[in-house]
Structure 1
């Protein structure tokens, strides 16, 4: 990804994902750890690994977490121990994978039998994206967001669920997060939102989906 080291990509604690953490974890891997901001949400006594492709950003993360591997997941995966991590974090990462199918297949080898994967992924059915596509007849890549120009994969809630199930994961949670907000039309928006939700589905109101999955036992 050609993203400046000062980008919002690398900072922030992603506190909205905390609710999806499992009760117990001891060895954690965060793929796309950025500057290590998410580390502050977890217990201090866990062993924490990170993967980060930008060297300058990885150096900052190394001050906060136990071990940082510099590179993409595909380039460093052989440095990860097998059957080791009981929690893997993928906050807005899978959409950047060359092959999400290969990732979901291979990452199982790095997990304990009772391990979890949590994270988030952009929603391609997000209302502003649909508005641009259907009414404006446009699909414009942006520096960030759902149509981030570095995204290689796009998901709806249904297609994401199917991907998890096809790779033999049990889905604990799969739900929308970061709903659309607007200060325009504040008096009619609540009613309009209900109408849109009933017509097109409530998933269009969310920027992303958060998930918690585990290996199918």
Structure 2
């Protein structure tokens, strides 16, 4: 089902993840679910990455998977792609909206940890199934409507809320450095802040479309 998606699904650059990479730059970066490769190209061209590698299930015809800025691009399933990637090597692993597509993201995250150097980071985005449009539809309308994208993407195999995102990374032995949120909070401004304060944070989770996680292997400083 993932393989049947339109090519445009794989072609966006994940700027919201790149800004979470420590500014020092010159990192060895691995991206899982790299799509057509635009994020890796930008990471290389802006100096964030000195060596960049992508992995995706789908080969795209019109993207940047073969761009000269990308050092390696592997087509395959990260859950079964054993021995193809260097252990204790990468400074940064990007997982942009990919863990929810996996059969066993818990085991896969433990495998990815082996590829990181001490102090290396996994930077991930994970949809929040508690987002109000999903949870209210289920609670009040009995609706759980799959689609071609978004939180209820029909190719998602796993669903997460804030606590299970934390469990996912901590269970694999990572130290969570940052747990951010995307959603309409900024657009709502002080109104969102006030309601969130009155509800002791409950409102914030309902407005979160996805969580942005920065998690470290070990307890040291930035990778490098």
TM-score (norm. length: structure 2)? 0.84
1:63-87 per-residue CA deviation (whole Å, 9 max, x = no partner) reads 1411100012123232011111111
Separation (CA, whole Å) in 1 of partners of 2:62 and 2:140? 41
Distance 1:192 1:3, change over 3 A: same
Which of 88, 100, 112 is the equivalent residue of 2:105?
100
Matched, 1:209 2:211: yes
Matched, 1:11 2:16: no
Distance 1:137 1:152, change over 3 A: same
- In structure 2, the residue corresponding to 1:131 is in which secondary structure? helix
Show the counterpart of 2:40.
39
- The structural deviation recorded for 1:151 is 0.5
- The structural deviation recorded for 1:22 is 2.2
Show the counterpart of 2:173.
168
Separation (CA, whole Å) in 2 of partners of 1:205 and 1:197? 13
Structure 2 residue runs without a partner (length 5+): 220-224
Paired residues, number: 211
1:43-65 per-residue CA deviation (whole Å, 9 max, x = no partner) reads 43510000011123597312141
Show the counterpart of 1:121.
126
Separation (CA, whole Å) in 1 of partners of 2:41 and 2:155? 27
Structure 1 residue runs without a partner (length 5+): none
1:71-123 per-residue CA deviation (whole Å, 9 max, x = no partner) reads 12123232011111111000001101110110121111111112111020101
Distance 1:86 1:132, change over 3 A: same
Distance 1:93 1:135, change over 3 A: same
The alignment's C-alpha RMSD in Å is 2.5
TM-score (norm. length: structure 1)? 0.86
Show the counterpart of 1:52.
56
Aligned pairs for 1:173-192 within 5 A = 173-179=178-184
Separation (CA, whole Å) in 2 of partners of 1:80 and 1:192? 44
* Greater mean alpha carbon deviation, residues 22-31 or residues 204-213: 22-31
Distance 1:190 1:158, change over 3 A: same
